[in-house]
Chains A and B, each alone.
Chain A
Amino acid sequence: MKRRAAVLVAVLLVVLAAVLIAYRVVRLGYPLVPTASIKVWQLSIETILGKNEKNLSLRMGLPVSRGPITVAEERIASGSLTFNLLREGVDHIGIWAGNTPSTGTLVNYRASILVKPVRTFGIRRMDPGAYPVSFQEADQALVSRLAARWQRLPADERIKAAGDALSGAWGQFPLSEQDRISWEELVPRVGRTNALMGLLNAAGVAARVQNGLILMEGVTRTPIRWLLAWDGTRWLHMQPDSGAIYDRSLVFLPLTNDDIPPLAATGAIAPEVRYNLSPQVVSQWIAYFDRLRTPDRILNRWSLFSLPPEFQATFRILLLVPIGALMVCILRNIIGFPTFGIFMPVLMALAFRSTGLGYGLVIFGGVILVGYIMRLLLDKLHLLLVPRLSVVLTLVIGMFAFLAVVGYKLDIRELMSVGLLPFVILTMMIERFFVIVEESGVREGIRNAVGSAAVAAITHLILHIETLQLTFFVYPELLLVLAALQILIGRYTGYRLSEVLRFRALHRNQ
């Protein structure tokens, strides 16, 4: 009877969650698999302009949503200057202009950059454009003659051959002496980039120049320039000086096209600009939902994404706690792990997020061991319970401080984040461990300690699955499903796996 009621409640919860999720997916267009390979980068372009500059103008190429790139959440700080956005062709040029005060001023541009893989739909023809302006008629004839020999090669091989040619490697198509001299004269005259462009044009490959950044974590002061070459299905990125083709896995963020400089300043000494790129996970969703947002829908307005980012981070962690609790239910009630305390492994698992599993377990073992020895010594002093626990707590904090300093000296970040371990719980655990060892022996104490560590480790590994974290953040109604599972485990009255072992003496003797 009770069991049927429990199953019914569980089913209702699951149905309710399914309805809410279905509504989000069908009506609000949420992605069903929330982590469908989208990467988000935080781009920050920042510069401090000197004091008392007059009639200053700073022009910066800014990223534009195009191809695999989506730009969201743009924020601009212009200090005392005025800001204007200029559209030149497909490019967006930000122009900061005015006078700077005596303190100088900070100019800042921030955006979230989303990268989505672009699907390619078979081969598409793209005609080469005009030759670079610095090319004379003789030059055009020369590159046409040079490229003619690659005529029968497929596009990507023609691109590679042109790139090699720029560094003087003509491979299986040797060059006449006359042509070699003409080519070696042409390259320095028009510039390596233009020479390569011309060669690609002549080879029937559409090519253009872009300026921008490669999406990699780090800070750079100058955007780079690259050459795009169309191989029939996609753009290849080439190094304009060496002609080498960039690795296909790199993602490029164009800031300006062709000869428009990504950064220019007039009326001031060239300012030092920092381009800062960092990969981000949380705001991936903020950015994604920037485009989906239909604020008239109640579920969207009540989404966790409507929280300010600093609070979102808290909820990303908090939403993991019920998953951890479910893990504890499974590991204790179905598998039968012995643990100190009920939810202590969840807190440990969360702490392992910053210390890492290996260091976390070592710290856990070390703190319990040292704590136990100290507790043994303290026992001789005959302290009353609460002050005694306080002493152990003080000791635990002392050990944390020590580990943090050791971590700093050895440059081990994981040790420095030891402070996130649940110290009160560790203190109580030392006391529990001591009492269990006193009363039921060392074996029982170690069994409990190992059980706790194992549950914490397994829970940590589950919580570590990023897809899971994001899924819960996007669909908090999954908490209902968790509650349903917890209810079902609450009515699981079958054997625990550990009991199969426990009663093995019976089995053997029947």
Chain B
Amino acid sequence: MTWEAVKWLNHFGILGMNGRNADYIMAMNDRSAFPLVDDKIITKRLAEEFLIPTPRLYHVIEHHGDIRNVEQALGDRREFALKPARGSGGSGIVLITDRSDRGFVKQSGAVISREDFIYHIFDILAGIYSLEGLEDKAIVEALVHPDPLFAAVTYQGVPDIRIIAYRGVPAMAMVRLPTRASDGKANIHRGALGAGIDMAKGETLTAVHGSEIVHVHPDTGNPIAGITIPSWKDMLLTAARGSEMTGLGYLGVDLVIDVAEGPLMLEMNARPGLQIQVANQAGLKGRLMRIDEAPPEIFATPETRVTWAMAAFGTDQRR
């Protein structure tokens, strides 16, 4: 039975953890390029050079001594996002939507006291949320106001779109939709939904909750499939440019759609997860191998790569 399942996984081109680490991350991602995506401050700076829009950076807290000046630096901003610069998987992020006498109002409506807020910054600097437990920096950036596009299938929080690009060619994409179970976080491990995206049309497919296929959002009851993402091609272009920007051959690009500013790149990831395959009900390895077999001329510019990917990986040409 197990052997059958393994044969099946292989047949459908499912990429496993070992295969991803050895054949793609280690083979395609130069160690020296990792800091470019592991530190959000560096990523932001690079993105600016490549004309990739990101949420505006308000403030960086580098040293314990700076923490006292945070409130001063915040000025009269009432809403912002506090993040660890080297965090992964959305850990340590606090979204503030307002301020009150008692402190800061979180997106969920809960109030976090000024003291707790400062403590959280201390934790970030100490490296609790950082990738290797190294000392970290905290960043304060503009709060994203999600486009109402996904409002019907989102419980609080900000849905984000993950695109995996291989050798600069977008290979697979999904949108992560927060649920009550995920506490408004777009984290699949915590219970957020992952919905596959048709690469050609930018249209959502069915979603996966845990390991179950679902057709409607568990909290709102609205159907997930059939939502068309505007400016989809732009987002694919952002992912495609990400490879030039970072030099990473195997890259995950996370985007959000801001109601005012349009698509913004949140972060990039040199070790993107494999759950995207479940969301799309398709194997990544098969697509990566097709990219390897593609004619060399398609790799010329981000535009040619995106055009090829949209033609190759639409639902009509599944797998």
Q: Which of A384, A439, A491, A500 contacts B5 (CB 8 A)?
A: A500
Q: Which of B8, B19, B208 contacts A494 (CB 8 A)?
A: B19
Mask, B100-121, CB within 8 Å of A = 1, is 0000000000000001100100
Interface of A, helix, strand, loop or mixed by DSSP = helix
CA distance A117 to B23 in the complex (A): 55
User: Does A211 touch B at the CB level, under 8 Å?
Assistant: no
Spot the interface stretch: B43-51, B187-195, B224-232, B249-257.
B187-195
A336 neighbours in B (Cβ, 8 Å): 17
User: Does A509 touch B at the CB level, under 8 Å?
Assistant: yes
Q: Which of A490, A495, A497, A506 contacts B278 (CB 8 A)?
A: A506
CA distance A440 to B19 in the complex (A): 25
Whether B16 contacts A495 by the Cβ 8 Å rule is: yes
Whether A509 contacts B281 by the Cβ 8 Å rule is: yes
In the complex, residue of chain A having the shortest beta-carbon distance to the beta carbon of B275:
A502
Min Cβ gap A183→B in Å is: 76
User: Does A504 touch B at the CB level, under 8 Å?
Assistant: yes
Whether A441 contacts B16 by the Cβ 8 Å rule is: no
Whether B191 contacts A497 by the Cβ 8 Å rule is: no
User: Does A33 touch B at the CB level, under 8 Å?
Assistant: no
Given contacts A386-B126, A440-B187, contact A510 B12 (CB under 8 A): yes
User: Does B22 touch A at the CB level, under 8 Å?
Assistant: yes
Which residues in chain B, 1-57, are within 8 Å of chain A measured between CB atoms?
Answer: 2, 5-6, 8-10, 12, 14, 16-19, 21-23, 27
Given contacts A439-B91, A507-B8, contact A496 B126 (CB under 8 A): no
A509 neighbours in B (Cβ, 8 Å): 213, 281
- Contacts between chains A and B (CB distance < 8 A), count: 89
User: Does B212 touch A at the CB level, under 8 Å?
Assistant: yes
In the complex, residue of chain A having the shortest beta-carbon distance to the beta carbon of B122:
A384
Q: How many residues of B contact A (CB 8 A)?
A: 39
Min Cβ gap A389→B in Å is: 10
Which residues in chain A, 432-475, are within 8 Å of chain B measured between CB atoms?
Answer: 435, 439-441, 444
Whether B126 contacts A384 by the Cβ 8 Å rule is: yes
A506 neighbours in B (Cβ, 8 Å): 12, 14, 277-278, 281
Interface centre among B5, B6, B8 (most CB of A within 10 A): B5
B122 neighbours in A (Cβ, 8 Å): 382, 384-385
In the complex, residue of chain A having the shortest beta-carbon distance to the beta carbon of B181:
A441
Whether B22 contacts A503 by the Cβ 8 Å rule is: no
Whether A495 contacts B211 by the Cβ 8 Å rule is: no
Min Cβ gap B238→A in Å is: 27
Q: Which of A382, A435, A496, A499 contacts B116 (CB 8 A)?
A: A382
CA distance A156 to B200 in the complex (A): 92
User: Does A492 touch B at the CB level, under 8 Å?
Assistant: yes
User: Does A333 touch B at the CB level, under 8 Å?
Assistant: yes
CA distance A325 to B128 in the complex (A): 26
Selected A-B contacts with CB under 8 Å, 8 pairs: A439-B91, A440-B190, A493-B18, A495-B9, A500-B6, A503-B9, A503-B14, A510-B12
Taking Cβ atoms with an 8 Å cutoff, the residues of B that contact A are 2, 5-6, 8-10, 12, 14, 16-19, 21-23, 27, 89, 91, 115-116, 119, 122-123, 126-129, 187, 189-191, 208, 211-213, 274, 277-278, 281
Taking Cβ atoms with an 8 Å cutoff, the residues of A that contact B are 2, 333, 336, 382, 384-386, 435, 439-441, 444, 490-497, 499-500, 502-510
